[in-house]
Structure 1
Amino acid sequence: MPEVAPIVDPGTTADAPSAPGRRRRGRTTLLIATAAVLGLVAGTCAGYLVQADREPTRLPSLSQPVVAQAKGPGPEPLSAAQDHRVKTNGDLRKLLISRPKGTKALDWAPEQDGWLDLGAYADSLTHADREFRDLVAAEFRRAAGVSWSVGSTGSTQVRLVQYRQEETLGAPERASRWDVDGARAYGVPGASDGMAYLFDAERKPGYLPFYKALATASRGDIAMEIWIFDSKPIPKQKIMDLAKRQLERL
């Protein structure tokens, strides 16, 4: 019966003698590698010894030279034309347009001496309690206004409301908060968010028609609002002219 031949590595043969004249390389290779490692270690030690004998390199100072302040008066403060806050941090009432000649001041106007505090301004709006909370959240700072009447049924209110704008952009947000559903809208030149609105008449039995127009815009930290009320239609040009004149003063 045939037998299975054992598996033998082809490079070697069991019981085969070494070939004549063949030298063993393992010992020589090990000696060379050991010598290389010792040489590397010796070189590293020598480098450390040389570096230790040298004087330490002085590092540059971290402090900078003191620059002497220039003599003479400091720079002139910016004018109101150059710095918007120079104008708006002053008397806010001076930025309001003047009451037209031939008109009368409104006895029931909420402003006192041209100023509206937070409570007075909120009370002049619909849903006063909610408006008060919203104004506080919007960082209300102060408000100024001027109002007048024309004839027996017409009246106008102009208000400038300033916000602190430390955590939120109160002025542009409040300028666009009005309920203008159904109104005819027109852009007002002079402000990127300037808008004018004409509302349809509100009619109730036994009362004259009630017309209103609104103009809004913001400039920096100030929100502008202008209201016109009358018993007859309000021309578009009337509200637009008032808005343009008021924006020119901001």
Structure 2
Amino acid sequence: MLGAVAGGCTGYLIQADRKATALPPLSQPTLPQAKGPAPKPLSAARDRQVRMDGDLRELLLDKPRGAKDVDGLKGNDGWLPMYEYANYFDKPVRAFGALLDDEFRRAVTTGWEVGNSYTVEIQLAQFRQEEDMVVDHRVETSERWADNESDTDSWPVPGTENGMVYVHRTPEEKPGYLPLYGAEAYAWRGDTVMGVWVYSSKPIAKATIMDLAKRQMERL
């Protein structure tokens, strides 16, 4: 400690014996100004962040004309509380804890039934991502589960980072029920995860699930 103080005092004494150094002038050179009018700020309709921070339900696809509501669809007026969102997973209690760790923010859902042809359900889930980027990992996990099902075809969703659609060719069968075919799609953009599911008693075409996934991602 004494050596440090002594060295500091010596430095001050040397500076005191030296002639003062002139300071640079305070004035700075004038920078050229851009010509033309200043660009206008983006409108709320064009500013993606404004849209994503607004009513998330407005970004869900609209129910087609003539389609019916889905009986038993979870949620409250389109909003999906975290505990109900966790119930979509095989192990809801573990999923609830993971959602807390991943800084779950909010989720919304919609769905409809097209005649007797097929049923659609769509979810959007937002995460704060103040600590880590979790949406990519969440989508990859969902895609891994979907891809592990036997007799499944998959294709990338154009215009997305790693979005995929999956069509399961083998139906689930239970005594007393019609066979149930399924297709699903996952993708993310910014802080939001998209999930789309289609169910039908008949095989589901790639075009059906792909069209839903593409149109939903275009709204994010």
Q: TM-score, normalised by structure 2?
A: 0.77
Equivalent in the alignment of 1:41: none
Q: Aligned partners of 2:156, 2:51: CA distance in 1, in Å?
A: 25
Structure 1 residues 226 and 60, CA gap change in structure 2 (3 angstroms): same
Report the CA distance between 1:154 and its aligned residue. 3.0
Query: Does structure 2 conserve the Cα–Cα contact (< 8 Å) formed by 1:195 and 1:216?
Result: yes
3-state SS of paired residue (1:238) = helix
Please point out which of 28, 51, 61 is paired with 1:97: 61
Matched, 1:207 2:171: no
Query: Does structure 2 conserve the Cα–Cα contact (< 8 Å) formed by 1:156 and 1:227?
Result: yes
Report the CA distance between 1:229 and its aligned residue. 1.0
Equivalent in the alignment of 2:33: none
Report the CA distance between 1:192 and its aligned residue. 1.8
Unaligned runs of 5+ in 1: 1-50, 67-73
Report the CA distance between 1:107 and its aligned residue. 3.0
Q: How do 1:64-103 and structure 2 match up within 5 A? A: 77-80=41-44, 83-103=47-67
Q: Aligned partners of 2:157, 2:139: CA distance in 1, in Å?
A: 13
Equivalent in the alignment of 1:233: 203
Q: Aligned partners of 1:137, 1:228: CA distance in 2, in Å?
A: 29
Q: Aligned partners of 1:136, 1:153: CA distance in 2, in Å?
A: 37
Structure 1 residues 83 and 207, CA gap change in structure 2 (3 angstroms): same
3-state SS of paired residue (2:119) = strand
Structure 1 segments (4+ residues) deviating >6 Å = none
Which structure has more relative contact order (CA 8 Å, sep 6+)? It is 2
Report the CA distance between 1:185 and its aligned residue. 0.9
Please point out which of 187, 190, 200 is paired with 1:217: 187
The higher radius of gyration belongs to 1
Please point out which of 170, 177, 191 is paired with 2:134: 170
Q: Aligned partners of 2:45, 2:132: CA distance in 1, in Å?
A: 26
Q: Aligned partners of 2:117, 2:82: CA distance in 1, in Å?
A: 28
Unaligned runs of 5+ in 2: 1-13, 29-37
Query: Does structure 2 conserve the Cα–Cα contact (< 8 Å) formed by 1:164 and 1:170?
Result: no
Structure 1 residues 65 and 113, CA gap change in structure 2 (3 angstroms): farther
Aligned length: 191
3-state SS of paired residue (2:51) = helix
3-state SS of paired residue (1:115) = coil
Output one character per residue of 1:85-132: Cα deviation in whole Å (capped at 9) or x when no partner. Answer: 111011111111101111111231112111111111112332211111
Equivalent in the alignment of 2:113: 149
Matched, 1:128 2:92: yes
Q: Aligned partners of 2:42, 2:130: CA distance in 1, in Å?
A: 22
3-state SS of paired residue (1:108) = coil
Q: TM-score, normalised by structure 1?
A: 0.68
Q: Which amino acid aligns with 2:156?
A: G
Report the CA distance between 1:77 and its aligned residue. 4.0
Equivalent in the alignment of 1:187: 156
Worse-superposed segment, 193-202 or 76-85: 76-85
Q: How do 1:25-44 and structure 2 match up within 5 A? A: none
Q: Aligned partners of 1:112, 1:102: CA distance in 2, in Å?
A: 22
Equivalent in the alignment of 2:23: 60
Q: Percent identity?
A: 42
Report the CA distance between 1:55 and its aligned residue. 6.7
Structure 1 residues 155 and 95, CA gap change in structure 2 (3 angstroms): same
